[in-house]
Structure 1
Amino acid sequence: MSETAQLFKVLGSESRLLLVRLISEGPSPVNSLVERSGLSQPLVSQHLRNLRSAGVVTSTRSGREVLYQLADHHIAHVIDDAITHVLEEHSPQLQSEPKEHHA
């Protein structure tokens, strides 16, 4: 259970969630993640270190670049499910409140 709690702690940052979503689109170098996220290069690098140490992303060297990819496709599903849940919670109710019946 503690590993799961640690995973959610690491994913508890909006910036790290954004980076994971961007990386889930395909392996990405730091400069691409900086450009696409709008975050500074030092901040992206710091978040990537945290994500890598938590086992969320892995890195491979490709020439002079280091490419980051998700360690496991389940991570993307967890995040997508959480986003769907939040969107459902905040969407307008289409059904009216249930009426109470008195006997």
Structure 2
Amino acid sequence: MKDYIMALHQRFCKEPECWEIKQQISEAERDLQQALDRRGQEQLLKLADLENELHDQISLESFLSGFKLALGIAAELAPSYSFDDDEEQRACQALQRRRGE
């Protein structure tokens, strides 16, 4: 189920471009890499990876919440099928035809 939701997320959830913010992030990362030693750069990369993973999880959970909400709304709006109601309607129609003959 999670794979299916992830596929739906990839298809329907488009991330905003945010070019200015991405450029600012790149500049800040470049400045930090120049200022940090090797150990600091490794920690910075680990932090960035964890932040990306968190972002992906939040995005997927947000999409899933919206999907569940949409399913709930659709279920409320769609008339539900009932075999008994269908049979009763057919019987009424058959009775009306017989009376009309």
Q: TM-score, normalised by structure 2?
A: 0.28
Q: Which has the higher helix share?
A: 2
Q: Which structure has the greater CA radius of gyration?
A: 2
State the TM-score, normalized to the length of structure 1. Answer: 0.28
User: More relative contact order in 1 or in 2 (CA 8 Å, sep 6+)?
Assistant: 2
Query: Is the strand fraction higher in 1 or 2?
Result: 1
